[in-house]
Structure 1
Amino acid sequence: MDEEYQLHPPSYERTVRLFSRVRKVLGINIKLHGDPALLAQGEIFLFNHFARIETFLPHYLIYQETGAFCRCIATKTIFKGNEAFRKYLGRVGVIPNDHEELLPTLVAEIIRGRKVIIYPEGGMIKNRRVLNDKGKLSIYSRKTNAYRKHHAGAAVLANAVDSFKLAVRMAEKSGDWERIDSWVDMLGLKNRERLLFSAKRTTRIIPGNITFYPLNSGDNFLHKGAGLLKSELSQKAKEELIIETNLLLKNTDMDMRLGKPICLSACRPWWERKIMKYLARHLNTVEDFFTLKGLEKPWLEKIIRMYIRYSSEKVRDRYMEGIYKEATVNLSHLTSTILLNLLKKNINEIVAKKFYLLVYLSVKNIQQHPDVNLHRSLRNPQVYADLAIGNKKALKQLLDVACQKGLIKFHQGHLLLLDHLKETFEIDTIRIENTIQVYANEMAPVSGAVDAVNQAIKQYETITDIELAHYRYDDELRRYDWDHHYFNKSRFDNINKHETATESGRPVLDVPIDHRHNIGVVLVHGFLASPAEMKPLSDKLVAEGYPIYDVQLPGHGTSPVDLSERCWEDWLRALRRGYEILSAHVEKICLVGFSTGGALSLIFASEHPPKLAGAVIINPPVKFKNKSMIFVPLLHGISRLARWAPAFGGVMRYRVNNPEHARVNYRHIPVRALYELVRMNYVLMHQLKSIHCPCLLMQSTADPVVTADSSSILLDKLINTNVTYIEVESNRHGILYENIGNTHKRIIDYIKQLSSGIAKPVSQTNYKMEDQKWAS
Structure 2
Amino acid sequence: MAIKTFGYTSFVMSFLEKILGTKFTVTGIENIPNQPTMFVANHFTRSETFFVPYIIFKKTGKQARTLADSKLYVGILGKFLNAVGTVSTKNEKRDNIIVNDLVKGKYNWIIYPEGSMIKSKDIIRDNLFISNTPYRNGPVRTGSAVLALKSELYRNDLIQAHKNGNNEMLKYLLQNHDLDYEDGINNLTTHIVPLNITYYPIRPGANKIQEIANRIVKKIPKQIAEELEIEGNILTGAQINIHFGKSINLANYIKNKKVLINQIPIIKQDTKNNFILRYFRSKLTNEFMEKIYSDTEINFDHIFIACLMHYPEEKINLLKLKKIIYYSAILINKSHNYRCNPSINPQKLSKLFSDELFHEFDDVFNLAISQNVIKILDQNLIEINKNIFERNIEFHEIRLENTLHVVANEFSLLENATAIIKRVTRYNDNEITKKVFNEIYNLDQQHFLSDYNKKFDKTFSKKTEIGMPFFYDNDMQKNNNIGIVLCHGYKSAPAEVEPLAKYLNEIGFKIYAVRLQGHGTAPDDLADSSWQDWYDSLQVGYSALSLICQKIIIIGFSTGGLLTLLSASKKKNLSKLCAIVSISSALKLVSIASKFAQGVEMWNEVLNKFSLSKGQLQYVDDHPENPNINYSRNYISGVVQLEKLMNECNKSLNLVDLPALIIQGKNDPVVDPKSAENIYKKINSNIKYLSMLDFNNHVIIYSERRELVFKEIKNFLNKLNLF
Question: Which of the five TM-score ranges fits, normalised by the shorter chain?
Answer: 0.7 to 0.9
Aligned to 1:102: 94
Aligned to 1:454: 422
- Match of 1:310, SS state, is helix
Q: Which of 404, 415, 419 is the matching residue for 2:382? A: 415
Q: Which of 111, 116, 119 is the matching residue for 1:118? A: 111
Aligned to 1:676: 645
The answer as to 2:425 corresponding to 1:439 is no
Deviation track 1:162-198 (CA, whole Å, cap 9, x = no partner) reads 22444466578x6769999999998688x73x333x4
Q: Which of 2, 9, 13 is the matching residue for 1:8? A: 2
**Distance across 1 between alignment mates of 2:370 and 2:657:** 46
The answer as to 2:303 corresponding to 1:334 is yes
The amino acid of 1:204's aligned partner reads: H
Contact 2:115 2:131 in 1 (8 A): no
The amino acid of 1:314's aligned partner reads: K
The amino acid of 1:154's aligned partner reads: S
Deviation track 1:722-768 (CA, whole Å, cap 9, x = no partner) reads 9998979x9xx7899xx987x9xx88x999x99xx99996659xxxx
The amino acid of 1:310's aligned partner reads: Y
Aligned to 2:320: 354
Contact 2:302 2:407 in 1 (8 A): yes
Change in CA separation of 1:464 and 1:92 when aligned onto 2, cut-off 3 Å: closer
- Match of 1:117, SS state, is strand
Deviation track 1:213-270 (CA, whole Å, cap 9, x = no partner) reads 1112113465466667774443222212222222223x11100011122223334463
**Distance across 1 between alignment mates of 2:366 and 2:582:** 45
The amino acid of 1:72's aligned partner reads: T
Cα deviation for residue 616 of structure 1 reads: 12
Cα deviation for residue 334 of structure 1 reads: 1.8
Aligned to 1:473: 441
Change in CA separation of 1:188 and 1:570 when aligned onto 2, cut-off 3 Å: same
Aligned to 1:260: 246
Aligned to 1:73: 67
Change in CA separation of 1:313 and 1:590 when aligned onto 2, cut-off 3 Å: closer
Change in CA separation of 1:112 and 1:464 when aligned onto 2, cut-off 3 Å: closer
Deviation track 1:589-645 (CA, whole Å, cap 9, x = no partner) reads 99886543367679999999999999997x766874417699xxxxxxx99999xxx
- Match of 2:365, SS state, is helix
- Within 5 A, what are the aligned runs for 1:217-366? 217-220=204-207, 223=210, 231-249=218-236, 251-268=237-254, 270-275=256-261, 297=267, 304-342=273-311, 347-366=313-332
Change in CA separation of 1:563 and 1:390 when aligned onto 2, cut-off 3 Å: closer
**Distance across 2 between alignment mates of 1:682 and 1:30:** 35
Cα deviation for residue 415 of structure 1 reads: 2.6
**Distance across 1 between alignment mates of 2:274 and 2:226:** 42
Aligned to 2:351: 385
Percent of residue pairs bearing the same amino acid type:
22
Alignment RMSD? 5.7
Q: Which of 129, 144, 157 is the matching residue for 2:147? A: 157
Runs of 5+ unmatched residues, structure 1: 1-6, 279-294, 489-495, 631-637, 643-647, 765-776
- Within 5 A, what are the aligned runs for 1:425-574? 425-459=393-427, 461-463=429-431, 465-473=433-441, 476=444, 508-510=468-470, 524-531=487-494, 549-553=512-516, 560=526, 563-564=529-530, 566=532, 573-574=539-540
Aligned to 2:130: 138
Deviation track 1:125-159 (CA, whole Å, cap 9, x = no partner) reads 01011112x34322214334x3x221222222222
The answer as to 2:9 corresponding to 1:23 is no
Runs of 5+ unmatched residues, structure 2: 596-604, 681-686
Contact 2:619 2:633 in 1 (8 A): no
Cα deviation for residue 688 of structure 1 reads: 13
**Distance across 2 between alignment mates of 1:613 and 1:622:** 20
Aligned to 1:645: none
Contact 1:722 1:761 in 2 (8 A): no
Deviation track 1:46-84 (CA, whole Å, cap 9, x = no partner) reads 1100001112222112211221111212333333x33x3
**Distance across 2 between alignment mates of 1:58 and 1:522:** 49
Contact 2:568 2:656 in 1 (8 A): no
Aligned to 1:195: 185
Contact 2:305 2:408 in 1 (8 A): yes
- Within 5 A, what are the aligned runs for 1:754-769? none
Cα deviation for residue 588 of structure 1 reads: 12
**Distance across 2 between alignment mates of 1:303 and 1:247:** 47
Aligned to 1:375: 341
The amino acid of 1:527's aligned partner reads: Y
TM-score by length of 1: 0.70
* Count of matched residue positions in the alignment of Structure 1 and Structure 2: 678
Cα deviation for residue 651 of structure 1 reads: 8.2
Contact 1:564 1:671 in 2 (8 A): no
**Distance across 2 between alignment mates of 1:412 and 1:484:** 45
Aligned to 1:292: none
**Distance across 1 between alignment mates of 2:619 and 2:164:** 73
Aligned to 2:602: none
Contact 2:262 2:272 in 1 (8 A): no
